[in-house]
């Protein structure tokens, strides 16, 4: 007669199914929480990278008599001297043409780590493009409709610098400034912005590139916003890929780094009425001589 003590009792099918069900239930509870923690970690990295960008700019300004670098050359030096329109950065007519600007953001040949001659003004203070890239950006970047098929996809940066800092270039009634000390209300003027990488359309206009709220997408490192009433176009726009989902890419916000150094999310759809005219956030935050006075425009021209 065999001893019953030597028999090993295994799990029954019902017991295994119960265990599997419990594990599935726990995963359904934990995964959303883990995803949220992961997104929060990315957000912290993004804001920290923005702060590092600011600190690098602050060191540059200290070494250069508070004069801002040209936006096209602050991170990646993509300005071709042979194509620059004759003039002086301190004059209102100065506006450089840029070599290789199309889809520069995903062209690894523009990375100074790979191609040292492309090093921009802040490169000695950063020495890596990692501080110029938000982790959240890469996940949404593949949705961009403005990637050059002739350029391999290797995201390099996600921030652009305010065009009106570092040149006297004039757009309509808006005049840029050369120095940090010339900026009115530094806490309300953006220094860097995450720029949209796809067209964002006005809801009440036909959806064509010429009626898009964001007609231009991230290419170079220059951020120049305009407003809806501008006869030229709508210009660059703050990104919308934070605090949203891939299915609602236009409903989020973008990181903005201000001249005073603070970093915050800005909603490009937010509006503010000044002097009876409604302006969008990307436009309002761009102008270095901005002021808030009832009955006046949102910027000074002198």
pLDDT tier at 41, thresholds 50, 70, 90: confident
What's the confidence (pLDDT) of residue 301? 45
For every residue of 217-267, DSSP letters joined together read -S-SSEE-B--TT-SS--B--B---BSS-TTSTTSSBEEEEETTS-EEEE-
Answer yes or no: is pLDDT of 52 > 80: yes
List, in order, residues 6 or more apart from 45 with CB less than 8 Å away. 134, 135
**Which among 271, 142, 124 is positioned nearest to 198, based on CA atoms?**
142
For every residue of 76-110, DSSP letters joined together read B--EEEEEEPSS-TTSTT--EEETT-TTGGG-GGG
Taking the model in full, what pTM does it have?
0.78
Between 294 and 259, name the one with better pLDDT. 259
Nearest 5 degrees, angle CA 65-CA 68-CA 72? 145
**Which among 105, 103, 99 is positioned nearest to 78, based on CA atoms?**
99
pLDDT tens digits along 234-280: 578 888 888 887 778 788 899 999 999 999 999 988 887 766 667 77
pLDDT tens digits along 4-32: 555 556 678 787 888 888 888 887 777 77
On whether the CB atoms of residues 72 and 122 are closer than 8 A, the answer is: no
Dmax of the chain from CA atoms?
107
List, in order, residues 6 or more apart from 197 with CB less than 8 Å away. 105, 140, 141, 143, 144, 146, 217, 218, 239
Two structure tokens written together for 41: 């970690």
pLDDT tens digits along 185-230: 899 899 999 988 877 766 555 555 545 555 677 878 888 876 655 5
Q: How far apart are CA 47 and CA 164, in angstroms?
A: 23
Between 266 and 39, name the one with better pLDDT. 266
Q: How far apart are CA 72 and CA 220, in angstroms?
A: 7
What does R_g of the chain's alpha carbons equal in angstroms? 25
Which of 29-43, 92-106, 143-157, 234-248 ranks highest by mean pLDDT? Answer: 234-248
On whether the CB atoms of residues 83 and 99 are closer than 8 A, the answer is: yes
On whether the CB atoms of residues 221 and 76 are closer than 8 A, the answer is: yes
């Amino acid at each position: 007669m065999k001893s019953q003590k030597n028999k090993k009792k295994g799990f029954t099918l019902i017991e295994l199914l119960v265990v599997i069900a419990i594990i599935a239930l726990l995963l359904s509870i934990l995964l959303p929480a883990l995803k949220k923690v992961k997104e929060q970690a990315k957000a912290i990295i993004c804001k920290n990278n923005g702060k590092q960008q600011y600190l690098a700019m602050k060191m540059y300004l200290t070494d250069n008599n508070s004069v801002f670098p040209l936006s096209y050359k602050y991170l990646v030096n993509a300005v071709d001297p042979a194509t620059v329109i004759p003039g002086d950065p301190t004059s209102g007519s100065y506006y450089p043409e840029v070599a290789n600007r199309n889809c520069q953001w995903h062209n690894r040949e523009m990375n100074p780590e790979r191609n040292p001659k492309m090093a921009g003004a802040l490169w000695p203070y950063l020495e890596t493009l990692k501080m110029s890239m938000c982790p959240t950006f890469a996940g949404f970047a593949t949705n961009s409709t403005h990637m050059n098929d002739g350029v391999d996809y290797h995201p390099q940066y996600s921030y652009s610098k305010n065009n009106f800092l570092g040149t006297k270039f004039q757009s309509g009634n808006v005049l840029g400034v050369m120095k940090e000390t010339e900026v009115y209300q530094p806490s309300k003027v953006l220094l860097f912005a995450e720029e949209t990488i796809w067209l964002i359309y006005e809801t009440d206009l036909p959806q064509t590139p010429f009626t898009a709220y964001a007609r231009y997408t991230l290419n170079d490192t220059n951020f120049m916003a305009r407003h809806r009433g501008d006869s030229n176009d709508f210009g660059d726009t703050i990104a919308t890929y934070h605090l949203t989902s891939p299915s609602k890419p236009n409903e989020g916000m973008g990181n903005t780094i201000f001249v005073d150094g603070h970093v915050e999310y800005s909603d490009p759809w937010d509006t503010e009425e000044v002097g009876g005219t409604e302006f969008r956030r990307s436009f309002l935050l761009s102008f270095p001589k901005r002021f808030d006075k009832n009955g006046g425009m949102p910027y000074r021209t002198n």
